[in-house]
Amino acid sequence: MLVSLVVISLAACTGGGHAPETPASPTATTPANRVHVWLTTADQRALLSSEPSVGPAGVQAGGLRVFVDESRHYQQLIGFGASVTGASARLLGSLSAPARDQLMTQLFGQAAGIGLSVLRQPLGPNDFSADNRSYDDLPPGRIDPTLRGFSLGREASLVLPLLRQARSLNGSLYVVASPWSAPAWMKTGGALGGGTLHRAAYGPYADYLVHALQEYAAAGVPVNGLTLQNEPSFAPGRYAGMTLDVRQQRALLDDYLTPALATAGLHPDVYALDDDFDRAADALALLADPRTRAHVAGVAFHCYRGDVSSLLTLRERFPDLRLAISECTGGQWDSDFARALRWDVHNLLIQGLRDGASWIVKWNLALDPSGGPRNGGCSNCRGMVTIDPSKGSIAYNEEYYAIGHVSRFVRPGATVVGSTTYGADSVETVAFLNPDGGHVLLAMNSSPDAKAIDVSGSGSGFGYQLPSGAVATFTW
């Protein structure tokens, strides 16, 4: 991740340290013709809390009208999640087995948790890995073109058991693999940090990525998606990373990786870019070649620079592409819960989904109170949860509640449908139709005053008084 370029508004902060309310099934507890409500308020008095259900009567005259239009269908959703980095895995491993199981259920469970269903997993060394080793390290001057020394190393015992547990908790789990760097012997400069891929190493590197996917599958974690390169426009010196320009990405994908995947019988969804919103032109240049376009399932973005509207630009040009926000983090640069909640819900969950994202992933699933353990990266980032290994305590951060407002209720395979607010732009919404025919509406009130809303369409009509700065999920 490009830490130095994170803007101040990308906030995350600690919510209550208590275990969040265990959600009850809306279908089991909500009477017919009534709507279930889940609320998070700016003052944290309500944190993804179940509120009294509301009936078909509207609120007082003058309420903002929200119309949900099921006839307008947009993208199908894969889900929401984070990354079990080496740092996250070490912290989860520091908990007692009962505490770890409870937390994993709270994160991935669909009946008793927020139902995270996407994991973007770094392949090998990165800024939050447990060590700085690739899957095939060699002394300087040596090469291993047949990958005889390939090994997942510590990931096999540290990370993969947690991924298996996540899969057991959520059968819809979608795993996306993302490499930060090729082994040093494949690169210019001969180091994991910086440089780019040697021209002679394209074939071995494609085989290296295939080996990684095969090892994951053999360990019980099939990989559903693959990005070509994490932040290919950025080559950090302090941790693993490398640049790949558009020409290099095209050659790697078209001439080496696609044939290698086919030979191995692997068919992951390949995502281009995996870089910031302001690099959308790189994705457009890559997709301009029909051969390359045929090999790309989607385009993934990071949130640190540029604007989320880049998603819409890609959707308008390539309506059949899967779009994603594959990394976004908050941190200590802003500890205001209300502002953090507003930023995430506006930019990622409402605008991101309205502009075409089919999956959205935060960065570290868990970090400690100092934003670690780190491997040369961001010194003040925050995870979705904070684990203090010295106390064995867990704090659920703003990101947990923001993501939970959709991941708990919007199922994989759901479709984004139309929603329009009439009367003011201070109330933003995005609506969904679940595979079972259930409806979900996410709404946020960014006004300094409470707002009365009247919701109609898609088989329901109800009213609600939405507090200032609050986020609500309605299900019916």
pLDDT digits (tens, 9 = 90+) for 190-227: 999 999 999 999 999 999 999 999 999 999 999 999 99
The answer as to whether 445 is a domain residue is yes
The answer as to whether 18 is a domain residue is no
The answer as to whether 19 is a domain residue is no
Q: Which CATH number covers residue 456?
A: 2.60.40.1180
Q: What is the pLDDT of residue 11?
A: 35
Query: In this structure, are 359 and 445 located in the same domain?
Result: no
Q: How far apart are alpha carbons 218 and 156 in whole angstroms?
A: 11
Q: What is the pLDDT of residue 22?
A: 61
Domain count of the chain?
2
User: What stretches of 77-147 adopt beta strand conformation (E)?
Assistant: 79-83, 118-123
Q: What is the pLDDT of residue 5?
A: 35
Q: What is the pLDDT of residue 23?
A: 53
Q: What is the pLDDT of residue 159?
A: 98
Domain assignment of residue 455, given as a range: 31-74+416-475
The answer as to whether 215 is a domain residue is yes
Long-range contacts of 142-148 (CB under 8 A, 24+ apart): 142/185, 143/185, 144/183, 144/185, 144/204, 145/203, 145/204, 147/204, 147/207, 147/208, 147/211
The answer as to whether 176 is a domain residue is yes
Q: Which CATH number covers residue 90?
A: 3.20.20.80
The answer as to whether 21 is a domain residue is no
Please list, residue by residue across 279-307, b when 16 or more beta carbons sit within 10 angstroms of its beta carbon and e when fewer do. Answer: bbebbbebbeeeebeebbebbbbbbbebe
* Residue 452 CB coordination number (10 Å): 17
Query: In this structure, are 177 and 305 located in the same domain?
Result: yes
Pairing mode, strands 49-54 and 35-40 = antiparallel
* Residue 70 CB coordination number (10 Å): 16
Q: What is the mean pLDDT of each run of 10 residues along the chain (476 residues)?
A: 39 51 50 86 98 78 86 98 98 98 97 96 97 96 97 97 98 98 97 97 98 98 98 94 98 98 98 98 98 98 98 97 97 91 98 98 98 94 97 97 98 98 91 97 97 91 96 98
- The DSSP secondary-structure symbol of 253 reads I
Q: What is the pLDDT of residue 300?
A: 98
Contact 294, 318 (CB under 8 A): no
Q: Of the residues 409, 427, 459, which one is the last residue of a structural domain?
A: 409
Query: In this structure, are 192 and 316 located in the same domain?
Result: yes
Query: In this structure, are 48 and 149 located in the same domain?
Result: no
Query: In this structure, are 432 and 293 located in the same domain?
Result: no
Q: What is the pLDDT of residue 234?
A: 95
- Could you tell me the two tokens for 216? 């994951």
Question: Which of 344, 334, 319 lies closest to 407 in space, CA to CA?
Answer: 344
Q: Of the residues 375, 409, 443, which one is the last residue of a structural domain?
A: 409
The answer as to whether 23 is a domain residue is no
Three-state SS at 62: coil
Query: In this structure, are 278 and 376 located in the same domain?
Result: yes
Three-state SS at 206: helix
Q: How far apart are alpha carbons 127 and 397 in whole angstroms?
A: 21
Kindly report the average pLDDT of the chain as a whole number: 93
Q: How far apart are alpha carbons 383 and 371 in whole angstroms?
A: 8
Query: In this structure, are 45 and 104 located in the same domain?
Result: no
Q: What is the pLDDT of residue 339?
A: 96
Query: In this structure, are 371 and 469 located in the same domain?
Result: no
- Could you tell me the two tokens for 401? 């509640």
The answer as to whether 24 is a domain residue is no
Q: What is the pLDDT of residue 308?
A: 98
Query: In this structure, are 161 and 203 located in the same domain?
Result: yes
- Could you tell me the two tokens for 138? 């060699």
Query: In this structure, are 214 and 310 located in the same domain?
Result: yes
Query: In this structure, are 272 and 397 located in the same domain?
Result: yes
Please list, residue by residue across 310-332, b when 16 or more beta carbons sit within 10 angstroms of its beta carbon and e when fewer do. Answer: bbbbbbeebeebbbbbbbbbbbb
pTM confidence score: 0.94
Q: What is the pLDDT of residue 21?
A: 72
Query: In this structure, are 65 and 82 located in the same domain?
Result: no
Burial of 25 (0-12, 13-18, 19+ CB in 10 A): exposed
Q: Of the residues 409, 433, 464, which one is the last residue of a structural domain?
A: 409
